[in-house]
Structure 1
Amino acid sequence: MASAQPAPQGLRPTKDVADPALVNSRTDSGAISARMDRLPATRAVWKLIVLLSLGFFFEIYDLLFTGYIAPGLVRSGILTATTTGLFGTSGVASFIAALFCGLFVGTISCGFLADRFGRRAIFTYALLWYVAANTIMVFQTTAFGLNTWRFISGLGIGVELITIGTYMSELAPKHLRGRAFAICQAIGFSAVPVVAFLSYLLVPQSPFGLDGWRWVVLLGGGSALMIWWFRRNLPESPRWLASKGRLDEADAILTKLEAKVEMEQGKPLPAPGPSEPVVRKASFSDMWKPPYRKRTVMLLIFHVFQTIGFFGFANWVPTLLVKQGITVTSSLLYTTIIGLAAPMGPLLGYWIADRFERKHVIVFMAGVNVVCGLVFSQVSTAAMVVALGVCLTLAGNIISFTYHTYQQELYPTAIRARAVGFVYSWSRLSAVFSSFVIAFILKDFGVTGVFVFIAGAMIMVMIAIGTLGPRTRGKSLESISH
Structure 2
Amino acid sequence: MSVAYDASIPVTQTPAASSATPADLAARIDRLPTTKSLWKLVALIALGAWFEAYDLFFTGYIAPGLAKSGILTETTQSFFGFAGIGAFVAVTFAGLFIGTFFLGFLSDRYGRRFVFTYALLWYTAAAVIMACQTSTEGLLVWRFIAGIGIGVELITIDAYISEMVPRHMRGRAFAFYSAIAFSSVPIIALLSWQLVPIAPFDIEGWRWVVVIGSVGAIIVWYIRRVVPESPLWLAQNGRGEEADRIVALLESEAIREFGRPLRDPTPSAATVRKVKAGLSEVFRPPYRSRLIMLVVFNLCQVIGYYGFANWVPSLLVAKGIGVTKGLAYAAIIAVANPLGPLLGMTFADRVDRKWVIVGSALVVAMAGAGFSQFTEPGLLIFCGVLITLANTILSYAYHAYQVEMFPTAIRARAGGIAYSSSRFGAIWSGFLIAFFLRDFGATGAFGLITACMLGVVFVIGVFGPSNKEIDSDQRR
How high is the TM-score relative to the length of structure 2? 0.94
Distance 2:219 2:119 in 1: 14
Match of 1:138 among 106, 128, 131: 131
| Preserved CA contact (<8 Å) 1:410 1:480 | no
Regions of 4+ moved over 3 Å? 22-26, 473-476, 478-482
| Preserved CA contact (<8 Å) 2:48 2:224 | no
Distance 2:109 2:212 in 1: 32
Q: In the alignment, residue 217 of structure 1 is paired with which amino acid? A: V
| Partner residue, 1:336 | 331
| Preserved CA contact (<8 Å) 2:94 2:144 | yes
| Partner residue, 1:156 | 149
Mapping of residues 75-474 of structure 1, within 5 Å: 75-275=68-268, 277=272, 279-472=274-467
Identify unmatched segments of 5+ residues in structure 1. 1-21
Mapping of residues 27-106 of structure 1, within 5 Å: 27-106=20-99
| Preserved CA contact (<8 Å) 2:45 2:224 | no
| Partner residue, 2:12 | none
Quote how far apart the aligned CAs of 1:372 are.
0.6
Task: Provide Cα deviations, 1:417-436, integer angstroms capped at 9, x if missing partner.
Answer: 01010111011111111211
Distance 2:77 2:470 in 1: 51
Cα distance change of structure 1 residues 184 and 418 upon mapping to structure 2, 3 Å threshold: same
Quote how far apart the aligned CAs of 1:157 are.
0.3
Cα distance change of structure 1 residues 174 and 24 upon mapping to structure 2, 3 Å threshold: farther
Task: Provide Cα deviations, 1:385-436, integer angstroms capped at 9, x if missing partner.
Answer: 1100000000100100000010010000000001010111011111111211
Distance 2:221 2:120 in 1: 10
| Partner residue, 1:14 | none
| Preserved CA contact (<8 Å) 2:373 2:443 | yes
Distance 2:320 2:47 in 1: 37
Q: In the alignment, residue 375 of structure 1 is paired with which amino acid? A: G
- Worse-matched range after superposition: 148-157 or 322-331: 322-331
| Preserved CA contact (<8 Å) 2:117 2:225 | no
Cα distance change of structure 1 residues 464 and 24 upon mapping to structure 2, 3 Å threshold: farther
| Preserved CA contact (<8 Å) 1:30 1:278 | no
Task: Provide Cα deviations, 1:34-65, integer angstroms capped at 9, x if missing partner.
Answer: 11111111111111111111111111000000
DSSP-derived class of the 2:473 partner: helix
Distance 1:440 1:91 in 2: 11
Distance 2:438 2:25 in 1: 56
| Preserved CA contact (<8 Å) 2:19 2:240 | no
Q: In the alignment, residue 285 of structure 2 is paired with which amino acid? A: P
Q: In the alignment, residue 268 of structure 1 is paired with which amino acid? A: P
Distance 1:194 1:422 in 2: 31
| Preserved CA contact (<8 Å) 1:294 1:468 | no
| Preserved CA contact (<8 Å) 1:78 1:143 | yes
Distance 2:28 2:391 in 1: 34
Distance 2:122 2:52 in 1: 12
Cα distance change of structure 1 residues 24 and 209 upon mapping to structure 2, 3 Å threshold: closer
Quote how far apart the aligned CAs of 1:83 are.
0.5
Quote how far apart the aligned CAs of 1:254 are.
1.1
| Preserved CA contact (<8 Å) 2:371 2:384 | yes
| Preserved CA contact (<8 Å) 1:80 1:91 | yes
Q: In the alignment, residue 223 of structure 2 is paired with which amino acid? A: F
| Preserved CA contact (<8 Å) 2:96 2:148 | yes
Task: Provide Cα deviations, 1:273-298, integer angstroms capped at 9, x if missing partner.
Answer: 12562534242222222111221111
| Partner residue, 1:3 | none
Quote how far apart the aligned CAs of 1:365 are.
1.1
How high is the TM-score relative to the length of structure 1? 0.93
Distance 2:225 2:454 in 1: 44
Distance 2:213 2:51 in 1: 7
| Preserved CA contact (<8 Å) 1:96 1:432 | yes
Identify unmatched segments of 5+ residues in structure 2. 1-14
Distance 1:230 1:466 in 2: 41
| Preserved CA contact (<8 Å) 2:37 2:250 | yes
Task: Provide Cα deviations, 1:440-463, integer angstroms capped at 9, x if missing partner.
Answer: 111111110001111111111111
DSSP-derived class of the 2:449 partner: helix
Quote how far apart the aligned CAs of 1:79 are.
0.7
| Partner residue, 2:7 | none
| Preserved CA contact (<8 Å) 1:119 1:166 | yes
DSSP-derived class of the 1:225 partner: helix
Quote how far apart the aligned CAs of 1:128 are.
0.4
Cα distance change of structure 1 residues 439 and 95 upon mapping to structure 2, 3 Å threshold: same
DSSP-derived class of the 1:226 partner: helix
Q: In the alignment, residue 144 of structure 2 is paired with which amino acid? A: F
Quote how far apart the aligned CAs of 1:473 are.
5.4
Quote how far apart the aligned CAs of 1:29 are.
2.8
Quote how far apart the aligned CAs of 1:23 are.
11
| Preserved CA contact (<8 Å) 2:18 2:241 | no
| Partner residue, 1:481 | 475
Distance 1:475 1:93 in 2: 38
Q: In the alignment, residue 378 of structure 1 is paired with which amino acid? A: Q
| Preserved CA contact (<8 Å) 1:64 1:192 | yes
| Preserved CA contact (<8 Å) 2:119 2:149 | yes
Distance 2:123 2:339 in 1: 27
Quote how far apart the aligned CAs of 1:141 are.
0.8
Distance 1:330 1:468 in 2: 43
The total of aligned residue pairs comes to 460
Cα distance change of structure 1 residues 24 and 226 upon mapping to structure 2, 3 Å threshold: closer
| Preserved CA contact (<8 Å) 1:32 1:238 | yes
Quote how far apart the aligned CAs of 1:362 are.
0.7
Q: In the alignment, residue 313 of structure 2 is paired with which amino acid? A: P
| Preserved CA contact (<8 Å) 2:104 2:412 | yes
